[in-house]
Structure 1
Amino acid sequence: MAEDAPENLSPLPKPAETNTISENPPGQEWKHRPPYRIQSLEEFGEIKWRGSCHCGQVTYQLKRERPLNAKFCHCRGCQVMHGAPFQWCAIFPKIAISFTRGSEGLSFYSSTQKSRDYTLPCKVSCSFCRTPIMDEGRNVCLLFPELIDFGGNEEEQKERRRIFEVSCHIFYSRRMVEIMDGKPKWSGLDNSSELLDDHGNKVET
């Protein structure tokens, strides 16, 4: 009976104080920032490109037509992670990208920590078909252009791909194949390593 209850017992806490789930649980704030924050078309702006993984469960949109830059990367990490001689990436600011389902359906991998926890920089892929989607840095994302829907016929697609034409090669000293395109080829990172020719010989400057 209520009158028999000890006087020193504290009343039960209000449900609202104990059962409310925070909208931003610790460590999950990134889900509410670009490129994972879900936005309406009015908020995001005009869509220039759409992209998706192989199975189509992960889709994203871009409001910027041209990337900040595009490169071929020949580093060993890209060769292993992509199972290919080199990686083609286009660099976009995070605010120009919006995943239509937020972080849902995505897997994350930190190659530096060899962890599946979300920590920057990290590699992002579809959790179902495992298509590599992008490498996420602190301010930009390195998207893989072949996921973009260029639409139209073969000639139109070829023309639209030119927007993502690479400016240079990086880590060319670790190349598996030689590419005779005459573009600048850096032994390591661009603008901070030696320039090489198409055959990997040092360019005298």
Structure 2
Amino acid sequence: MKQLYQKDKESSHQRERLKRREKTHHGSRLVDPFELEKMPSFLNETMIGEEENNPGFSIVQLVFLGPYHAEKCLTNCGEPTQRWYHVPRSFLNAEGDNTLVLFEEMGGNPSLVNFQTTRVGSVCANVYEKNTIELSCDRKPISAIKFASFGNPDGNCGSFEKGTCESSNNTVDILTQECVGKEKCFIDVSTEKFGAPDCTESARRLAVEAIC
């Protein structure tokens, strides 16, 4: 990977520009901004860093308004609210080089920014009734449904567990039939599809973990 650095004077403050050229590879592309506090960015001359174009891309430090007390910040005080940023494949050139230009505006070192590739092992969804979920494996087929429950399931992705109420139909079988072998599938979360669980004290949800 080539790295080109250039310093410019602009609006009486200094910006450091980092250009990175690299080939595309299989897997999801991630940017690790590391220590940058604000990062207007261009990928192949497309603006991706400013808030009005991509609200999820700029890094904003935690802000605590009003009088300070210990409960306002228990861990990672002053750290960025997000570390990793997904780069859509539609932004990348499938053939040839890709150029990323970063402008450091509020402190930090652009040379510490990294591009990485990750491969998705499983995908999860945890959605309330009367919504639609999409399961997708980054252009790979869904190979199995590891967990599925419609009712009041507990836990998080990778550690879902059935709750105290469960739908009358076999949720795993339904999702296996509709999703396995496909790169993506859309599921309407409803009692018509999964049956009516006896959840009188909690809202009904569908929790799914699919293996890619």
TM-score, normalised to structure 2, is 0.28
Larger RCO (CA within 8 A; separation ≥ 6):
2
TM-score, normalised to structure 1, is 0.29
Between structure 1 and structure 2, the one with the greater Rg is 1
Which structure shows the bigger proportion of residues in strand conformation? 2
Which structure shows the bigger proportion of residues in helix conformation? 1
